[in-house]
Amino acid sequence: MTRLLHIDSSSRGALSTTQTLTAHFAHQWQQAHSDGTIVYRNLADSNLQFVTAELIGSFYTPADQLTAAQKQLLAQSDQLAEEFIAADEYLLGVPMYNFSVPAVFKAYIDLVARVGKTFSYEGGRPRGLLTNKKMTIVTASGGDYSAGPAKSMDFVEPYLRAIMNFMGITDCVGI
């Protein structure tokens, strides 16, 4: 059974262009994958934690040495990372806010990009652990950033491709 992780990150709710487009894509995907499962996460409603020194320390503490407080601190990141790893395909709705991704989306990436879970270092070089997965990226902005001088101000799609490639997801389509 194929699992699609559908993530929206717009704060605009029903007024969101990316949310409208991802809902349409998810509907089409479900029709094409009748036995597939869609896991939906709206980051604007998820109350994600931001990375702190304590959280980073917990990321790098061996599992058998974690304190109860560290385990509690890691709970949200562990849940999100497991959900991310379990997906076969991804659908990301990411609007452009001030030329980049929404802060809540960046917080999400900071919680799922985990050494030993989504990437590793071998011989001092990073290696993505999420291979053979597909990603569809839906972006929207208040202007045209596809060409000309404005193209250099689009940090959304280049960032998404870079971080996903870093984690091993190389089959990315942008809409």
Residue 164 covered by a domain: yes
Looking at residue 105, its pLDDT comes to 97
CA 125 to chain centre: 22
Residue 4 covered by a domain: no
Residue 82 covered by a domain: yes
Q: What is the count of structural domains for the chain?
A: 1
Residue 143 covered by a domain: yes
The residue that leads in pLDDT, 48 or 123, is 48
Query: Which CATH number is 82's domain given?
Result: 3.40.50.360
Cα radius of gyration (the chain): 17
Query: Which H/E stretch holds residue 174?
Result: strand 171-174
Q: List pLDDT tens digits, range 123-160.
A: 889 999 999 999 999 998 888 888 888 888 888 989 99
Residue 2 covered by a domain: no
Report the C-alpha gap between 162 and 172 in whole angstroms. Answer: 10
Q: What is the DSSP letter of 129?
A: S
Q: What is the DSSP letter of 117?
A: T
The type of residue at 113 is: A
Range of the domain at 63: 9-174
pLDDT over 70 percentage in the chain: 99
Q: List pLDDT tens digits, range 100-121.
A: 999 999 999 999 999 999 999 9
Q: What pTM was estimated for this model as a whole?
A: 0.93
Residue 1 covered by a domain: no
Looking at residue 14, its pLDDT comes to 83
Q: How many other CB atoms are found less than 10 A from the CB of residue 45?
A: 11
Q: Do residues 132 and 46 make contact, with C-beta atoms less than 8 angstroms apart? A: no
Phi-psi region of 5 (alpha: psi -120 to 50; beta: other; left: phi over 0): beta
Contacts for 25-33: CB closer than 8 Å, 24+ residues apart: 25/91, 25/136, 25/138, 25/175, 26/91, 29/4, 29/89, 29/91, 33/2, 33/4
Report the C-alpha gap between 55 and 147 in whole angstroms. Answer: 39
> Average pLDDT for residues 57-85, to the nearest whole number?
97
* Average of per-residue pLDDT values in the chain: 94
Looking at residue 175, its pLDDT comes to 62
